[in-house]
Amino acid sequence: MGTDITGRFAPSPTGRMHLGNVMCALLSWLDAKSTGGVWRLRIEDIDRQRCKREYAMQLIDDLLWLGLPWDGEVVWQSERSEIYQQYLDYLTDLGLTYHCNCTRNDLLASSAPHEADGRIVYPGTCRDKGLSEGAVRIRVPERLEATNGDFIVQRRDGTWAYQLAVVIDDALMGITHVVRGRDLKTSVPQQEFLYDVFGFCKPKFLHHPLLCNMTGQRLCKRDRSLDLGILRKKYLPEEIIGYLAYRTGLVRDYSAIGVKELLDVFSWCKIPDGDIMIDGDCLPVSVGPSSENLSS
Ligand code: GLU
């Protein structure tokens, strides 16, 4: 029985997927598939300096290995420049954009970091300068000035900004449920503002806790120890999925489990609010490929 839910996983191929990225994919897949919905894959490779095709291909292979297939064609942001340009032109025609040539150091010197998370809120330095080059910013309404500031929609070197591309793509792909880490929660006001300006229907935004190391830092692609290149050598996909299901509270005890078995037990109510600490270099429960759990 299908529903109208369309979810998506939108990774940036800047390195090998790690356990935290797998958790994001798994929760988003379960959110869509537990109600018979559609789950799409979009590779967010607009930043040509940081993204590599090779990482994207590994990511695709890792998702299939984990048992998380997507629906339809893979969408590549690097192929959608013309679309982003059309929407940027629309913003410009509305008189909402302007160029800015402030450097990061200018901003650090002139603005106070955001209280909640240390982000720098742009103080509007170039708003009325009428510059003809530089990064392109969008004028936000007064209610967003203190918390978000006029944000960048196209970088100085022409690279499309995440905020612009993500909204256009989610809307055009018909995404109804955006599931991602709580580190992206601060982007919601900017994105909702763009949804309103473009007249798009807003999705539901759902944020999950992050996986952190024991010092409380979230896992990142630089920490190689929990990336799939290493995990795939030591564990079966069911062991990785079973471990994540256990740590996110979807099941009470650890056992190897396939993604489909989680469809019936998935519920957002079970997911903890706080971040999830991961100890050490490997999954604490290592049953290994010859485990009895799997042969029974
Ligand atoms: N591409 C972003 C990332 O990998 C995620 C974007 C999103 O889910 O909105 O962090």
The 10s digit of each residue's pLDDT in 67-113 is 999 999 999 999 999 999 999 999 999 999 999 999 988 888 877 66
CA atoms of 233 and 235, how far apart (whole Å): 6
CATH number of 6-78+209-295: 3.40.50.620
Q: Are 70 and 63 in contact (CB under 8 A)?
A: yes
Beta pairing class for 135-138 and 75-76: unpaired
Q: What is the mean pLDDT of residues 52-58?
A: 97
Greatest alpha-carbon span in the chain = 70
Spatial CB neighbours of 72, under 8 Å, sequence gap ≥ 6: 38, 40
Task: Tell which residue, 185, 190, 100, has the closest CA to residue 140.
Answer: 190
Residue 115 binned pLDDT confidence (cut-offs 50, 70, 90):
low
Give residue 288 CA to ligand 1 midpoint distance, Å. Answer: 31
Nearest atom, ligand 1, residue 21 CA:
4
Q: In a mutational test of the pocket of ligand 1, which residue from 29, 162, 192 has the highest number of ligand atoms less than 8 Å from its CB?
A: 162
Given a cut of 60, whether residue 125 has pLDDT beyond it is yes
Query: pTM of the predicted model, to two decimals?
Result: 0.92
Spatial CB neighbours of 119, under 8 Å, sequence gap ≥ 6: 113, 186
- Residue 277's DSSP bridge partners are 212
Question: Which residue has the least CA distance to atom 6 on ligand 1?
Answer: 10
Q: Are 76 and 109 in contact (CB under 8 A)?
A: no
Fold identical between 6-78+209-295 and 81-163? yes
Give residue 295 CA to ligand 1 midpoint distance, Å. Answer: 37
The two structure tokens encoding residue 144: 């967003």
Answer yes or no: is the C-beta of 184 below 6 A from any ligand 1 atom.
yes
Domain ranges of the chain: 6-78+209-295, 81-163
> 81-163: what CATH class?
alpha beta
CA atoms of 156 and 126, how far apart (whole Å): 14
Predicted local distance difference test score (pLDDT) of residue 291: 41
Spatial CB neighbours of 233, under 8 Å, sequence gap ≥ 6: none
Answer yes or no: is the C-beta of 25 below 6 A from any ligand 1 atom.
no
pLDDT per residue as tens digits for the range 162-207: 999 999 999 999 999 999 999 999 999 999 999 999 999 999 999 9
Count how many residues are written for the chain: 296
Answer yes or no: is the C-beta of 227 below 6 A from any ligand 1 atom.
no
Q: H or E segment at 181?
A: strand 177-181
